């Protein structure tokens, strides 16, 4: 694993915009950065792929055990929703995708920092933009990235399930559309679902209606299947949250995914699989992680309120935090590099790399393409 400094394509902004990445520069700073790339060996890709599928299996096992125990209080999920979440798991309501954030330096086993199992983003750049970059810049090289075709295949599988049940394959897709990245991500999911045969209707999450019997779109058509780029923990706590219990909508990602997208799952995983080479010690109690560690809010996103604590440094007074042993990101040319490794339909599907001058990866951290030989 190494970082190469390369010359960006002269007209790269136009090229990535044509692929839907019109948020490539934010507040004057590049988000998509092709003045560098990361090179891997095939053996390193094998390690990342295997770790990703292993971690996914561990996570499913954790969901199963945790729901069997009936104790979702550990995850700060409102008790009224526990049976509903358990039902979703018993039915194995299908999910589509997720993204593990890994710390990997090319030599030690990849370590799971968290699992973005509910609303992962940085998808277009990983699935599409870096693919086209490879075709033009690193012709003859390969890339760990079958995201696009795996997403279409996954939506096809869900389409088959729905039509076999005699139901119309009509999918609504919702997000916060005044956020450009969210909007483009929903559009991309609309694109791949449409290619898989679904009839698709995008709408802003605030435009979803409730008519006393079912959820509706702006045309007052009933919503039967919904892809939502909107975290479960927000949905449950909003005015329409209790209507979700009616189970009238098949939602992607399904309710049981909220067990995994919650960082309080990290201590649970460590308790269930202690000393696993791809996991890090984690606890709700700072004292249980005596060395340097990372304090994370259990519902935080994109590095928000994440703090690095030195050995013996006390935790913040804020509630709802977990503590995870520090696995420093590798540093290349002064950039701290994180691997986002994707799961689609239960299979490892590719990766995207983010880099930042800070040891904490945030929503503006650069996305840098990769290849391997």
Tokens of residue 319, six digits: 């509630």
| Helices vs. strands in the chain: H and E counts, helices first | 9, 21
24 near other proteins, judged by CB under 8 A:
no
- Compose the 218-257 pattern: x for residues touching other proteins by CB under 8 A, - for all others: x-x-x-------xx--xx-xxxx--x--------------
CB distance 226 to 173 below 8 Å: yes
47 or 174, CB closer to other proteins? 174
320 near other proteins, judged by CB under 8 A:
no
194 near other proteins, judged by CB under 8 A:
yes
Of the residues 25, 170, 195, 283, which one makes contact with other proteins according to CB under 8 A: 195
Q: Point out which span in 73-81, 88-96, 121-129, 271-279 binds other proteins (CB under 8 A).
A: 121-129
DSSP conformational letter for 369: -
Q: Which residue has the tokens 């009509």?
A: 170
Of the residues 84, 210, 276, 308, which one makes contact with other proteins according to CB under 8 A: 210
195 or 283, CB closer to other proteins? 195
Minimum Å gap between C-beta 23 and other proteins is 11
Which 140-159 positions form the footprint of other proteins (CB under 8 A)? 142-150
Q: What angle do CA 280, 230, 14 make, to 5 degrees?
A: 95
What are the beta bridge partners of residue 356? 336
142 or 333, CB closer to other proteins? 142
SS3 32: strand
Strands in 307-309's sheet, in edge-to-edge order, are 282-283, 321-325, 293-297, 307-309
- How many C-beta neighbours within 10 Å does residue 224 have? 17
d(CA 264, CA 45): 29
Tokens of residue 37, six digits: 């790339």
Minimum Å gap between C-beta 232 and other proteins is 11
356 near other proteins, judged by CB under 8 A:
no
**Short-list 155, 168, 157, 159, CA closest to 222:** 168
Task: Return residues touching other proteins (CB under 8 A).
Answer: 17-20, 22, 45, 124, 127-128, 131-132, 134-135, 142-150, 174, 176-179, 183-184, 186-188, 190-191, 194-195, 202-214, 216, 218, 220, 222, 230-231, 234-235, 237-240, 243, 350, 363
């Amino acid at each position: 694993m190494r970082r190469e400094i390369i010359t960006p394509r002269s007209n790269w902004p136009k090229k990535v915009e044509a692929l839907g990445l019109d948020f490539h520069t934010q507040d004057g700073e590049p988000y998509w950065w092709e003045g560098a790339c990361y090179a891997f060996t095939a053996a390193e890709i094998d390690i990342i792929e295997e770790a990703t599928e292993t971690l996914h299996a561990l996570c499913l096992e954790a969901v199963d055990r945790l729901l069997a125990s009936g104790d979702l209080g550990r995850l700060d999920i409102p008790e009224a929703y526990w049976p509903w979440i358990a039902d979703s798991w018993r039915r194995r309501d299908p999910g589509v995708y997720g993204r593990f954030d890994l710390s990997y330096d090319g030599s030690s086993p990849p370590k799971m920092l968290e699992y973005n199992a509910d609303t992962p983003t940085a998808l277009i750049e990983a699935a599409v933009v870096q693919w086209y970059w490879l075709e033009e810049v690193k012709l003859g090289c390969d890339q760990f990235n079958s995201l696009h075709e795996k997403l279409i295949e996954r939506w096809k599988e869900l389409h088959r399930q729905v039509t076999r049940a005699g139901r119309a394959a009509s999918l609504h897709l919702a997000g916060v559309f005044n956020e450009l990245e969210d909007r483009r991500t929903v559009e991309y999911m609309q694109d791949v679902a449409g290619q898989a045969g679904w009839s698709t209707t995008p709408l802003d999450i605030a435009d979803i209606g409730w008519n006393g019997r079912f959820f509706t779109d702006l045309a007052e058509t009933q919503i039967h299947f919904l892809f939502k780029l909107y975290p479960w923990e927000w949905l449950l706590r909003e005015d329409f949250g209790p209507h979700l219990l009616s189970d009238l909508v098949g939602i992607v990602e399904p309710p049981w995914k909220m067990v995994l997208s919650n960082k309080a799952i990290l201590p649970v995983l460590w308790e269930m699989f202690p000393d696993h080479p791809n996991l890090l010690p984690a606890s709700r109690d700072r004292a249980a992680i005596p060395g340097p560690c990372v304090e994370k809010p259990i519902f935080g996103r994109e590095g928000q309120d994440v703090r690095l604590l030195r050995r013996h440094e006390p935790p913040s007074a804020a509630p709802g935090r977990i503590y995870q042993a520090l696995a420093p990101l590798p540093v290349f040319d002064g950039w701290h590099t994180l691997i986002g490794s994707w799961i689609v339909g239960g299979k490892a599907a590719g990766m995207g790399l983010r880099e930042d001058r800070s040891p904490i990866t945030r929503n503006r951290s650069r996305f840098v393409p990769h290849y391997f030989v």
